[in-house]
Amino acid sequence: MNPVFVLAGRLRRDYLLPPLGRPLIDAPGGDLLYAAAGLAVWGGAPALLARVGEEYPQEWLKDFNRRGWDTRGVHILPEPLDLRYFLAYLDPNTPRTTNPVSHFARLGLTFPKALLGYQPTPGDDLRQIHPASPRLTDIPDEYLEARAVHLCPLDYPTASRLLAAFQQAGVTTRALDPAAGYMQPRAWNEVRALLQGLTAFLPSEEELRSLFWGQTDDLWAMAEAVAACGCELVVVKRGGRGQILYDSASRKRWEAPAYPVRLADPTGAGASFCGGFLFGYQQTYDPLEAVLHGNISASLTIEGSGAFHALDALPGLARARLESLRGLVRQV
């Protein structure tokens, strides 16, 4: 059976000290899972494209399957692959990924033995392929028949090759959440190559400002410059300030405020937004509706911790929030 939605990215084993609530120790995580949950909030069934090592918990993969997620694209290597990821918050807006020992000590928590020897991995860049990034050979043939694909943050060579492969296969909706490592002025030519023929570009405000550092402070000017490279839609994720949307075809601009909720843990909010966006766009082909879907997915994610928190929401809550948010959108 051919999937409708393909999500490509990386899986992690998360060690998370959130702003509120209990720590998560060796929990399934990664942008890929948060994006999948953001899509599944609306009833979508994502197909996952990723790489894991032989020690990755098989029970987790079985759980993804039980949720109706397609894991045929999760390639299990016949060797270990370190997917550990540590994140601690000093406050809701100050995440830290270094020195886990000091953070556990600060909170009076027992340091988990599984984190011994942990070193943060370098950010994704223009040249080096991350060992956990999916390869072209990992793509099941059925995935190339999908209607929509979204790439979570990946190293540049992987993002470039995957986008080209899905475009050549005729997948009509292609969205990209860029990696911060290559969102730099010196990489403008490479970023421009990714943008050609792209349906939606979904950077954070920080990433977009980094790309245009020293050139302009105007977010709309940045969005227009990105769209001029051949990208249909530019959505800038602004955290607690919501999102802005630029539609290159109509040249229309919108601002959507973040749905007001009590913030417990911002981890994965941007990825969850992207999953909701992909579902909303594929269902309606209305970019503003897509943004609203993503906005609500993110709101459900940040109310708790863990990749699956959004899926525990009360039935009908997402739809109710969607309806109330529509009246708050502003065209500028």
Write down the mean pLDDT value for the chain: 95
Strand order in the sheet with 243-247: 70-76, 46-52, 5-8, 148-151, 173-176, 200-201, 233-237, 243-247, 252-256, 330-331
**CA atoms of 144 and 267, how far apart (whole Å):** 30
Pick from 141, 140, 121, 146: nearest CA to 132: 121
CB 232 within 8 A of CB 200: yes
Length of the chain: 332
Residue 199: pLDDT above 90?
yes
Distances (CA, A) of 162 to 121, 133, 186, 303: 22, 10, 22, 33
Positive or negative, the CA dihedral 211, 36, 25, 114 is negative
CB 306 within 8 A of CB 27: yes
Q: What is the mean pLDDT of residues 211-224?
A: 97
**Tokens representing residue 62 in the block:** 């079985």
**Tokens representing residue 105 in the block:** 């000590």
Side-chain-side CA neighbours of residue 125 (13 Å): 6
| Amino acid type, 60 | W
Q: pTM score, two decimals?
A: 0.97
Residue 38: Cβ within 10 Å count: 35
Helix axes 269-284, 31-40, angle to 10 degrees: 40
**CA atoms of 297 and 255, how far apart (whole Å):** 17
Please report the DSSP string for 234-276 in residue order: EEEE-GGG-EEEEETTTTEEEEEPPP----S--TTHHHHHHHH
Query: What is the predicted pLDDT for the residue at 127?
Result: 84
Residue 89's beta-bridge partner residues? Answer: 95
**CA atoms of 330 and 236, how far apart (whole Å):** 15
Q: What is the mean pLDDT of residues 144-148?
A: 98
Per residue in 26-43, pLDDT tens?
A: 999 999 999 999 999 999
**CA atoms of 51 and 75, how far apart (whole Å):** 5
For the chain, domains (ranges, CATH) are 5-331 (3.40.1190.20)
Res. 120 pLDDT band, cuts 50 70 90: confident
Per residue in 281-312, pLDDT tens?
A: 999 999 999 999 999 999 999 999 999 999 99
**CA atoms of 78 and 55, how far apart (whole Å):** 9
Query: What 3-state class would DSSP assign to 149?
Result: strand
Per residue in 240-288, pLDDT tens?
A: 999 999 999 999 999 999 999 999 999 999 999 999 999 999 999 999 9
Query: What is the predicted pLDDT for the residue at 126?
Result: 82
Residue 91: pLDDT above 90?
no
Query: What 3-state class would DSSP assign to 313?
Result: coil
**CA atoms of 176 and 168, how far apart (whole Å):** 16
3-state helix, strand, coil in the chain (%, to 5): 40, 20, 40
